[in-house]
């Protein structure tokens, strides 16, 4: 079963790595679109520079997101062929629709945006980046539709041992996706907000290009505060939904072994998975019942009782997710989110008082907070996918049934090492380029001489 | 018509689009180190495909997604069976995609040289591997009664499939050279033509071997349509060669595009109604009947494809129209 564990590592590593770039693409595409729209509306050259500066960083990130995404497309066939056979009817459709509706738009219009500065009108050029932003977020919707089915299957029937789609509308209106999509996308918006704040803060500390980065800092501040508040709300709604849709995930995220009325919220715990108990915990009384059900007297089901329910329903087996990583991932995510909120509110307050740029410690705090959204995004996914174990499709297929029978451990070792090494090298190259562009700051575009019309035959004339 | 048959045709169309568009992208990437004498020239070469390569690659992504949606068993058997080959391809596509974006962002010669070689490697590997893959599909690979591939990576390499790999690589290189004759200026056009003329001779040799071995190793010619298409591809290639020789580049490119399209049609037609041939037992082959999705899913996907593919073609074509001019040293972005 070495292939199984290696395949899981490979999927985990490549997906986590892919999702370092996706959130920034989701948010920064919109921010760049807003900046370019301001430029088109006002004709203010500074905003053209803003568009180009953030656009350049966006493109590096975008390229990394695209190439790491290619693996995702083929992964299900390579390492999880039995999943692909079982789920192709349902999973393939959103994936193909993602390609048809989103990937084509994204990739065609990003090309036009990069190369079109002098070829198409300003308005059309700004429209290109709006299309890219729209398509990126639409793409997130499709793939999350597929993921939501894995968390909470809807609109299907099992025929000949395969899950077959019976209701496409149910698939794309899965209540799960309406909680997961906003939370994921807002996570991306917050990431982009912190990206802009952090880099702007860096230049404000150095007092370089101050007018330029004041403008971007201000935009980033408003954007991030709004998105963070929405994100907190969506996180709360999502968790309450999980309490009903995936009680085992919630119980694991809280390390709640016993069914409890007026359940407390554990801030920290020493978890003993073997004996199914917490050796010690630091808790706030009644808080979990309030958070999960808005009712201090409500009951939250514990892992042990849920396990018995699963055994009654699906037969003997181990249905408990890895509690320790899920529990801590959830806490790290919430802590990172709270810290982000604290930092932007403090920075916002000082900005409002006109003191921000005198308080270097505040700017430094903003600068160093850049990893926080990335930590929150990744740990959030650890909760989502870790809390789903041992299922690959909840209630329908377990992870160990999904792995490809035709692959051998050596092949997976080769691909696992190959992907990890190339990703590490690309990370070095990408970070090198980004920091170089960031340090350089905005480059004022020289007035372009009029380029004479190029002579010669074109392809179609 | 059965919807699964319609999806076989749609999949063929997606592969035609992919091989036609990414075919010249791969060719341009392969020719990069040979045609570009200095950095500016290499940038010109890269910029000829700069605005379009990403959109071209999505044809492959869409073909993969469509295969997953319409023929999940093929998606599962092919990609798990051809595991290491696919790993190599993904590896190549990753470094190529990043290389386009990264290479000109830094001036250091070593930096640029590194990424240029990534573009080259990232173009040549998929070009060869697609040839190996397509010829394996029709020659047959060890697939058991449970639709599982039971061979190893080295079972994919046989004289016929290696010839297939080389032939595809040469055809794409020739196709890329013709694309460059249309998208560059003066001296570069002459060099691209020269490359096409040189590569074309080898291409002709390997295409003939491929046709001959297809006759001996597969039953492609049992289908009149497939056989005619394959011979048609050869005729188109000869025409393309003649056209580029006499400097009629537009015509040459159209004919080399038809070569690519007809080759794709020939192999898919020859496969039909199979998608993957089992070398162990013909009855174990994956076919449109035993590997397709449910009627409901195919219906949804058909509606989506019929509505969306024409729109994609329109806006992608429109972007090609915007960038129809030849690329010069003055309009470099990558």
DSSP string, A106-171: HHHHHHHHHH-TTTS-HHHHHHHHHHHHHHHHHHHHHHHHHHHHHHS--SEEEETTEEEES-HHHH
DSSP state of A100: I
pLDDT at A281: 86
- For the record, the structure tokens of B297 come out as 């899913």
**Residue A445: pLDDT above 80?**
no
Q: How far apart are CA B147 and CA B285, in angstroms?
A: 8
Say if CB A224 and CB A265 are below 8 A apart.
no
- Can you tell me the mean pLDDT for A312-325? 91
Dihedral sign of CA atoms A420, A63, A385, B64 in order: negative
pLDDT at A450: 44
- Can you tell me the mean pLDDT for A233-241? 93
What value of ipTM does the predicted structure carry?
0.90
* Residue B135: CATH number of its domain: 1.20.1630.10
Say whether residue A406 is in contact with chain B using an 8 A CB cutoff.
yes
**Residue A366: pLDDT above 90?**
yes
Say whether residue A13 is in contact with chain B using an 8 A CB cutoff.
no
| Helix-strand-coil split of chain B, %, nearest 5 | 80, 5, 20
Say if CB A122 and CB A431 are below 8 A apart.
no
pLDDT at A461: 32
- For the record, the structure tokens of B327 come out as 């690329």
Question: Tell me: the pLDDT tens digits for B157-171?
Answer: 999 999 999 999 999
Q: How far apart are CA A397 and CA A390, in angstroms?
A: 9
Q: How far apart are CA A29 and CA A131, in angstroms?
A: 9
Torsion of CA A74, A77, A83, A87, to 10 degrees: 70
Question: Tell me: the pLDDT tens digits for A61-98?
Answer: 999 999 999 898 899 999 999 999 999 889 888 988 99
Report chain A residues whose CB lies below 8 A from the CB of B69: 88-89, 92-93, 95-96
Say whether residue B129 is in contact with chain A using an 8 A CB cutoff.
no
Q: How far apart are CA A448 and CA B74, in angstroms?
A: 53
pLDDT at A383: 94
Measure CB to CB from residue B148 to each of A92, A116, A405 and give the nearest one. A405
Torsion of CA B58, B63, B64, B66, to 10 degrees: 120
Confidence label for B104 from pLDDT (cuts 50, 70 and 90): confident
**Residue A451: pLDDT above 60?**
no
- Can you tell me the mean pLDDT for B245-258? 94
- Tell me the shortest Cα–Cα distance from B331 to chain A, in angstroms: 8
- For the record, the structure tokens of A235 come out as 């996180």
Q: Nearest-CA residue of chain A relative to B322?
A: A119
pLDDT at A447: 43
Residue B218, domain member (yes or no): yes
pLDDT at A460: 39
Chain B interface, mutation test: which of A69, A70, A77, most B Cβ atoms within 10 Å?
A77
Q: What is the mean pLDDT of chain A?
A: 90
pLDDT at A446: 46
Say if CB B127 and CB B203 are below 8 A apart.
no
**Residue A13: pLDDT above 90?**
yes
Residue B327, domain member (yes or no): no
Chain A interface, mutation test: which of B57, B61, B326, most A Cβ atoms within 10 Å?
B61
Do residue A454 and residue B70 have CB atoms under 8 angstroms apart?
no
Which of B271, B164, B264, B163 has the alpha carbon at shortest distance from B222?
B271
Bridge partners (DSSP) of residue A299 are: A261
**Residue A444: pLDDT above 70?**
no
- Can you tell me the mean pLDDT for A341-370? 92
Percent of chain A past pLDDT 70, that is, above it, reads 96
Q: How far apart are CA B109 and CA B38, in angstroms?
A: 11
Do residue B102 and residue A63 have CB atoms under 8 angstroms apart?
yes
**Residue B221: pLDDT above 60?**
yes
The number of folded domains in chain B is 1
Confidence label for A448 from pLDDT (cuts 50, 70 and 90): very low
State the pairing for strand pair A156-159/A162-165.
antiparallel
CB neighbourhood size of B289 (10 A): 11
Q: How far apart are CA A133 and CA A110, in angstroms?
A: 10
- For the record, the structure tokens of A445 come out as 């575009």
Cβ neighbourhood burial of B100 (10 Å; 0-12, 13-18, 19+): buried
Answer with the residue of higher pLDDT: A455 or A384: A384
- Can you tell me the mean pLDDT for B37-63? 91
- Can you tell me the mean pLDDT for B189-203? 94
Report chain A residues whose CB lies below 8 A from the CB of B90: 70-71, 74, 419
- Can you tell me the mean pLDDT for A355-361? 88
Bridge partners (DSSP) of residue A260 are: A300
**Residue A453: pLDDT above 80?**
no
Q: H or E element: which one contains B22?
A: helix B3-35
Cβ neighbourhood burial of A268 (10 Å; 0-12, 13-18, 19+): middle
Residue B280, domain member (yes or no): yes
- Tell me the shortest Cα–Cα distance from B285 to chain A, in angstroms: 16
- Can you tell me the mean pLDDT for A225-229? 96
Confidence label for A118 from pLDDT (cuts 50, 70 and 90): confident
Confidence label for A310 from pLDDT (cuts 50, 70 and 90): very high
Chain B interface, mutation test: which of A13, A108, A458, most B Cβ atoms within 10 Å?
A108
**Residue A452: pLDDT above 80?**
no
Confidence label for A276 from pLDDT (cuts 50, 70 and 90): confident
- Tell me the shortest Cα–Cα distance from A39 to chain B, in angstroms: 21
A261: CB partners within 8 A, 6+ apart: A289, A297, A298, A299
**Residue A286: pLDDT above 90?**
no
* Cα A85 from chain centre: 27
| Side-chain-side CA neighbours of residue A64 (13 Å) | 30
Q: Is A264 left (phi over 0), alpha (psi -120 to 50) or beta?
A: beta
- Can you tell me the mean pLDDT for A39-59? 93
Q: How far apart are CA A7 and CA A454, in angstroms?
A: 52
Question: What phi, psi does A459 have (nearest 5°)?
Answer: -60, -35
Question: What phi, psi does A210 have (nearest 5°)?
Answer: -60, -45
Say whether residue B320 is in contact with chain A using an 8 A CB cutoff.
yes
Q: Which of residues 278-307 of B touch A (CB under 8 A)?
A: 293-294, 296-297, 300-301, 304-305
Question: Tell me: the pLDDT tens digits for B140-159?
Answer: 999 999 999 999 889 999 99
Lowest mean pLDDT among A34-38, A272-276, A400-404, B320-324: A272-276
Q: Detail the DSSP E strand segments found in chain B.
A: 274-276, 286-287
Q: Nearest-CA residue of chain A relative to B100?
A: A63
Bridge partners (DSSP) of residue A183 are: none
pLDDT at A273: 84
pTM of whole model > 0.80?
yes
pLDDT at A160: 85
pLDDT at B330: 80
pLDDT at A397: 92
Residue B329, domain member (yes or no): no
């Amino acid at each position: 079963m070495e292939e199984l564990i290696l395949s899981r590592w490979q999927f985990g590593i490549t997906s986590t790595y892919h999702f370092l770039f996706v959130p920034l693409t989701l948010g920064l595409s919109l921010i760049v679109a807003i900046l370019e729209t301001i430029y088109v509306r006002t004709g203010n050259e500074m905003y053209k520079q803003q568009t180009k500066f953030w656009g350049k960083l966006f493109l590096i990130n975008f390229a990394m997101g695209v190439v790491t995404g290619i693996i995702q497309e083929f992964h299900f066939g390579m390492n999880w062929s039995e999943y692909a056979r079982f789920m192709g009817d349902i999973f393939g459709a959103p994936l193909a629709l993602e390609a048809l509706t989103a990937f084509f738009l994204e990739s065609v219009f990003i090309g036009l945006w990069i190369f079109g500065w002098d070829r198409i009108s300003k308005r059309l050029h700004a429209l290109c980046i709006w299309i890219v932003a729209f398509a990126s977020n639409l793409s997130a919707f499709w793939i999350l539709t597929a993921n939501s089915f894995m968390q909470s299957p809807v609109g299907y029937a099992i025929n000949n041992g395969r899950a077959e789609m019976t209701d496409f509308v149910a698939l794309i209106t899965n209540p799960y996706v309406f909680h997961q999509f906003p939370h994921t996308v807002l996570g991306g918006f917050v990431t982009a907000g912190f990206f802009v704040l952090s880099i702007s803060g860096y230049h404000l500390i150095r007092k370089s290009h101050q007018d330029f980065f004041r403008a971007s800092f201000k935009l980033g501040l408003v954007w991030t505060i709004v998105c963070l508040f929405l994100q907190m709300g969506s996180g709360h709604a999502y968790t309450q939904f999980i309490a009903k849709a995936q009680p085992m995930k919630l119980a694991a995220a809280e390390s709640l072994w016993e069914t409890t009325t007026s359940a407390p919220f554990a801030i920290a715990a020493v978890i003993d998975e073997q004996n199914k108990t917490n050796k010690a915990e630091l808790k706030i009384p009644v808080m979990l019942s309030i958070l999960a059900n808005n009712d201090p007297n409500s009951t939250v089901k514990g892992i042990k009782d849920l396990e018995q329910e699963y055994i009654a329903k699906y037969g003997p087996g181990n249905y408990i997710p890895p509690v320790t990583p899920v529990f801590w991932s959830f806490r790290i995510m919430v802590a990172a989110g709270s810290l982000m909120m604290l930092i932007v509110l403090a920075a916002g307050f000082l900005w409002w008082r006109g003191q921000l740029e005198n308080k270097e410690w505040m700017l430094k705090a903003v600068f160093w907070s850049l990893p926080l959204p990335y930590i929150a995004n990744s740990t959030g996914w650890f909760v989502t996918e870790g809390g789903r174990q041992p299922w690959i499709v909840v209630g329908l297929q377990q992870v160990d049934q999904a792995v490809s029978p035709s692959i051998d451990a050596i092949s997976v070792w080769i691909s696992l090492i190959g992907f990890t090494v190339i990703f590490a090298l690309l990370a070095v190259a990408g970070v090198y380029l980004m920091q170089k562009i960031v340090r350089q700051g905005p480059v004022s575009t020289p007035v372009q001489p009029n380029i004479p019309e190029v002579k010669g035959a074109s392809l179609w004339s | 018509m059965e919807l699964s048959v319609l999806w076989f045709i749609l999949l063929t169309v997606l592969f035609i689009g992919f091989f036609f568009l990414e075919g010249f992208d791969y060719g341009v990437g392969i020719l990069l180190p040979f045609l570009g004498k200095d950095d500016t020239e290499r940038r010109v070469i890269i910029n000829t495909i700069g605005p379009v390569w990403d959109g071209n690659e999505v044809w492959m992504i869409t073909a993969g997604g469509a295969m997953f949606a319409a023929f999940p068993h093929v998606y599962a058997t092919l990609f798990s069976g051809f595991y290491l080959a696919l790993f190599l391809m993904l590896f190549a596509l990753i470094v190529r995609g990043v290389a386009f974006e990264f290479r000109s962002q830094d001036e250091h010669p070593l930096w640029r040289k590194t990424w240029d070689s990534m573009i080259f490697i990232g173009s040549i590997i998929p070009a060869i591997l697609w040839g190996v893959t397509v010829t394996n599909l029709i020659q047959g690979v060890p697939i058991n009664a449970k639709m599982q591939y039971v061979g190893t990576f080295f079972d994919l390499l046989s004289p016929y499939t290696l010839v297939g790999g080389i032939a595809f690589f040469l055809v794409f290189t020739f196709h890329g050279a013709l694309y460059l004759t249309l998208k560059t200026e003066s001296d570069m056009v002459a060099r691209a033509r020269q490359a096409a003329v040189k590569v074309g001779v080898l291409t002709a040799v390997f295409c003939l071997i491929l046709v001959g071995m297809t006759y001996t190793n597969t039953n492609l010619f049992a289908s009149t349509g497939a056989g005619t298409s394959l011979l048609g591809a050869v005729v188109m290639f000869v025409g393309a060669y003649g056209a580029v020789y006499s400097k009629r580049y537009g015509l040459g490119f159209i004919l080399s595009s038809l070569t690519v399209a007809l080759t794709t049609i020939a192999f898919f037609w020859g496969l039909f109604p199979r998608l993957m041939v089992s070398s162990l037992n013909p009855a174990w082959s994956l076919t449109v009947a035993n590997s397709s999705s449910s009627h409901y899913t195919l219906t949804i996907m058909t509606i989506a494809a019929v509505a969306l593919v024409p729109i994609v073609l329109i806006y992608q074509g429109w972007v090609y129209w915007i960038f129809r001019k030849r690329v010069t040293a003055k309009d470099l972005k990558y």
